[in-house]
Structure 1
Amino acid sequence: MSRISALGLDIGQKRIGVAGCDGTGLIATGLTTLVRTSFEQDIAALRQLIQERHVEVLVVGLPYTLQGTLGYQAKRVQKYAARLERALQLPVEYIDERLTSVEAEQLLITQKLSPSRHKALIDRKAAALILQQWLDERRRTSPKNPPLEIVTNEEF
């Protein structure tokens, strides 16, 4: 299986949740939450992560409406992601992120943490859910790997 290095981004008006994946493309984990101050600072922080992790693609959660259309917020995210793509010179792929923040909040509640006190953690977990969804879809649509050959002790 080919190696992949991607960053998942949950882009909000105040923060950007960031997730990364292991090189095999199996597991996404939350990395950090960037507090948005300026586009230049966002780029600097992302560029550092991209260099450290040898990132090849940005996976951006697109907040479709519950009816499945692109609303105002989704268009804002697309515009911002296009700026990221140009500034960072990396391809951007979108994934439907409907309800990922709700799912992230539920994960916190099960851990007995208050969602209202852990907004940055919610953003990071939402980014991990976005990236995990992309990784899972990528595996489902890629050509299947041939089965591994099992070697027994008798063959040594």
Structure 2
Amino acid sequence: MRIMGLDFGSKTIGVAVSDELFYTAQGVKTIRRSKSEIEELGMLIQEYGISEIVIGYPKNMNGTLGPRCALTDEFIERLSSEFGLPVERWDERLSTVAAQRTLLEADVSRGKRKQVIDKMAAVFILQGYLDRRHARNIPN
């Protein structure tokens, strides 16, 4: 079993998955938002044996709920009803900034960064969640 991390954007959804021991997050793909997004996520859930989903929750810098939180909550409801898996919200503040910084440091071109930024943000979201699980000694 693995955990899936999602960066839910207005145009794309970045997807990452954990290893089977829940230590590391790896980027999988970026899904273009469309009518088939749930179907694509379902195929990945099956392929990777996903037991839980973590989704970035777009809070404002002062900790209040951002304008996209309501849309994210609606998407969480769709995921829960479609797949019957637990869905955790993860404060995603600065995940995209961290992903952008990492890609800049790796000297990734602007065009390539645009293609992978959401997938990379999903990795940061999921890795933060996994690190907290291990810090709290949550059993696998």
Same fold (TM over 0.5): yes
1:111 counterpart = 2:99: no
Who is 2:34 aligned against? Answer: 37
From 2, 15, 18, give the equivalent of 2:15. Answer: 18
SS of 1:118's partner is: helix
| Matched residue type, 1:17 | G
Larger radius of gyration: 1
Report the Cα distance in structure 2 between the residues aligned to 1:66 and 1:20, rounded to whole angstroms. Answer: 26
Report the Cα distance in structure 1 between the residues aligned to 2:138 and 2:12, rounded to whole angstroms. Answer: 36
Which aligned pairs between 1:12-91 and structure 2 lie closer than 5 A?
12-38=9-35, 41-91=36-86
Which ranges of structure 2 fall in alignment gaps of 5 or more residues? Answer: none
Structure 1 consecutive aligned stretches of length 4 or more whose deviation exceeds 3 Å: 114-117
Who is 2:88 aligned against? Answer: 93
Report the Cα distance in structure 1 between the residues aligned to 2:138 and 2:26, rounded to whole angstroms. Answer: 25
Deviation at 1:36, TM superposition (A): 0.8
TM-score (norm 1): 0.84
Structure number with higher strand proportion: 2
The root-mean-square deviation of aligned C-alpha atoms, in Å, is 1.5
Cα pair 1:108 1:115 within 8 Å, conserved: no
Deviation at 1:143, TM superposition (A): 5.7
- Number of corresponding residues: 139
Cα pair 2:17 2:26 within 8 Å, conserved: yes
Deviation at 1:115, TM superposition (A): 4.0
User: Percent same amino acid at aligned positions?
Assistant: 37
Q: Report 1 or 2 for greater relative contact order, CA contacts < 8 Å, sequence distance ≥ 6.
A: 2
Report the Cα distance in structure 2 between the residues aligned to 1:32 and 1:22, rounded to whole angstroms. Answer: 15
Bigger drift between 106-115 and 127-136 goes to 106-115
TM-score (norm 2): 0.93
Deviation at 1:116, TM superposition (A): 5.3
Which ranges of structure 1 fall in alignment gaps of 5 or more residues? Answer: 145-156
Cα pair 1:7 1:20 within 8 Å, conserved: yes
SS of 2:6's partner is: strand
Bigger drift between 113-122 and 98-107 goes to 113-122
Deviation at 1:54, TM superposition (A): 0.8
Deviation at 1:57, TM superposition (A): 0.5
